[in-house]
Amino acid sequence: MFKINPLLIVALIVTGSIAIWGIVDTENLAQWAAETIEVQFSSRAWFIMLTVSGLLIVSLFLAISKYGEIKLGADDDQPEFSTVSWLSMLFAAGMGVGLLYWGTAEPLTHYLAVSEVEDSRRAADAALFITNFHWGMHAWAIYALTGLVIAYFGFRLDCPNLVSAPLIRVYGKSTVTMVAGWLFDLMAIVAIAIGVGGSIAMGVFQIKGGIDVLMDVDSSGTSMSIAIFLVLCVAYTPPLLMDLSRGMAILSNTAMAIACGLMVFVLIAGPTQFIMGGIIGAIGEYVSQVVVHGFRTYTFMDERTANWFHEWTLTYMVWWLAWAPFVGVFIARISKGRTIREFLFGVIVVPTVFSIFWFGVFGSIGFYAALRTNLPILELVQKDASRVMFFVLEQFPASRLTISAVVAAAFLFLITSVVSAAFVLGMFSSSGSLNPSRAVKLGWGVILGALGLVMILSDSIAAIKSIIALGALPFVFVVTILVICLLRALAVDEAAAIDRSKP
């Protein structure tokens, strides 16, 4: 008999209502989200930065401590995937389309802001560092600890794959833990749905930028975006109805391969010495400043700097939190049999090194265009960030091929994100079942599409960021409690390990 899950109903009502509000009055939703998030950011910035830095410190502590030897699974479980394949999959899941969108645009955007107060050459270093900070260890520590909690409780303690499971397992079944756990699951669902909806819109804007360049048109308004969105909906529906987990891995690895190919192409075909210099400089900046920057709140700066901090650093951190339950579940699923140390170094350090190379290549090529040639790339950044990557590629040979490759990679990243997110949402809203029904997955596919459409209609990256930040903010509290549950459980696990080793 078909069993109705109250969590599924409430989650569908909450996310569906946001989608309907957004479709009926996009401007009103965007404005309300922007005002509300500004109030939250203005008064709680310190707490958000403290939380993300705390998560990184806890991750590093677990990785180097004796707890690092504990396995995610039974003591004799072996990893399911090779290390290279594992790293490739987790990176594609965590960053995806954002890398393509922001590769050149983000360092240049920060450069414009910083160069108003600093010397332009110093501003380029600072801009590259800030970008790497946003995409680096702090971001991955959020994913890593969320994934670690889900993997540890799921594989080692055999709990259901739910955000609420650690709380109920550690503190026992009581009215308080059941109600709090139910709210945790609901908050995770809302954060995922809105976060992935935002990524759909960003990806659609990126694809639109590419098609405009390829067809040599300048399609203003949202009609082209909506057309691309409809094609995307048609493309992601069949995988929702079939079990295509292996196919999804292939699509995701193909998108990653295209992205890596582009990076190598730009490095070799572009000003290699300039780019390598940028990468090495960025590594030094990152290592020397990352800890201090993690605690920076810009409290004593002027209002403009504070606004920039809210719009970028805080929004990014909350954006990673929005994706954390979704990416965490995915990373957990592919990490069974690894030790906590292996898991944390793999999830935090390796993707951060890749990000530094990625932004080193695409950021440096952007600075080369801005500082060494007279190309109007800085004007383009201000006008339309989604076209910056294509503008860069147009300066290289075989630009039609490389631009088509970016469009294809963005499309593949989007399909894999939506299908995986619909699966995770289906799982969360079906009591942690690893096989959510097709109807539930399709329902979530529709909701994700509707939320994506809302963000597309807003036609503004700033509005998208505000809506995502608002949807994900409650998850700051949830992640903190999950980490407490993990530490409590690990303490007992370690005690058990010592007991077993006694003769």
Partner 1 sequence: MSDVTDTMLNLWVFAFVALVIWLILKPAAGLKKTNTSSDNPQKHQ
Site residues for partner 1 per CB under 8 A: 38-40, 42-44, 47, 71, 74-77, 156-158, 168-174, 477, 480-481, 484, 487-489, 492-493, 495-496, 499-500
Q: Strand, helix or coil at 46?
A: helix
CB of 71 or CB of 134, closer to partner 1: 71
Burial 51-88 (b: 16+ CB within 10 A, else e): bbbbbbebbbebbeeebbebbbbeeeeebebeeeebbb
CB of 37 to partner 1, least distance (A): 12
CB of 47 or CB of 298, closer to partner 1: 47
CB of 114 to partner 1, least distance (A): 27
Distance CA 172, CA 122 (A): 54
CB of 180 or CB of 349, closer to partner 1: 180
CB of 491 to partner 1, least distance (A): 9
- Which residues fall within 8 angstroms of residue 167, CB to CB, at 6 or more apart? 177, 180, 181, 184, 481, 482, 485
Q: What is the 3-state secondary structure (H, E, C) of 174-191?
A: CHHHHHHHHHHHHHHHHH
Structure tokens at 192: 């995922």
Distance CA 155, CA 165 (A): 12
CB of 64 or CB of 495, closer to partner 1: 495
Sole residue written with tokens 């300066």 = 395
CB of 55 to partner 1, least distance (A): 13
CB of 54 or CB of 281, closer to partner 1: 54
CB of 69 to partner 1, least distance (A): 13
**Phi, psi (deg, nearest 5) at residue 116:** -70, -25
CB of 92 to partner 1, least distance (A): 30
Q: Strand, helix or coil at 135?
A: helix
Residue 64: name the closest of 467, 345, 330 by CA. Answer: 345
CB of 183 or CB of 349, closer to partner 1: 183
CB of 498 to partner 1, least distance (A): 10
CB of 237 or CB of 480, closer to partner 1: 480
Residue 392: name the closest of 303, 275, 285, 236 by CA. Answer: 275
